[in-house]
Structure 1
Amino acid sequence: MGRIPLQLFEPRYLDMLSDCMKSDRGFVVVLIKEGDEVAGECEFYGVGTYVRLVDFRKLENGLLGITIEGTSKVLLTESTKGADGLYSGRIEHLIEEEYVPLPDEHLELATLLEQLERHPAIQALNMSVDYEDGRQVGWRLVELLPLSKEEKQFLLELTDPLERLKQIEYFLSLMEQ
Structure 2
Amino acid sequence: MFNAADLPETIPIFPLPGALLLPRARLPLHIFEPRYLAMLDDTLKTPHRLIGMVQPREVPGSEERKLHSIGCAGRVTAFSETEDGRYMITLNGISRFRILKEQAGFTPYLKADVSWDGFAPDLGAGEDDGAFDRETFMPLLSRFFASRGLSTDWESLQEAEDELLINSLSMLCPFPPEDKQALLEAPSLPTRRETLVTLIEFALRSGTDEEKMQ
Give the TM-score normalised by structure 2: 0.63
Contact 2:72–2:96 at 8 Å: present in 1 too?
Answer: yes
Give CA-to-partner distance per residue, 1:38-80, whole Å, 9 cap, x none: xx97421011011111221234775221121211111111112
Structure 1 residue 83: Cα displacement: 4.8
Give CA-to-partner distance per residue, 1:113-145, whole Å, 9 cap, x none: 9x97639xxx9xxxxxx8344x44322211011
- Which fold has the larger relative contact order, with Cα–Cα distance below 8 Å and residues 6 or more apart in sequence? 2
Q: 1:11 to 1:41 in 2, by over 3 A?
A: farther
Give the counterpart of 2:160 among 106, 113, 131. 131
**Displaced runs of 4 or more, over 6 A:** none
Which is higher, the Rg of structure 1 or of structure 2? 2
CA RMSD between the two structures: 3.2
- The number of aligned residues is 163
Structure 1 residue 150: Cα displacement: 0.6
Unaligned runs of 5+ in 1: 124-129
The letter of the residue matching 1:57 is S
Q: 1:52 to 1:89 in 2, by over 3 A?
A: same
Contact 1:102–1:132 at 8 Å: present in 2 too?
Answer: no
Give the counterpart of 2:120 among 95, 106, 111. 95
The letter of the residue matching 1:9 is F
Q: 1:167 to 1:8 in 2, by over 3 A?
A: same
Give the TM-score normalised by structure 1: 0.75
Unaligned runs of 5+ in 2: 1-23, 143-149, 206-214
Is 2:105 the counterpart of 1:82? Answer: yes
The letter of the residue matching 1:165 is R
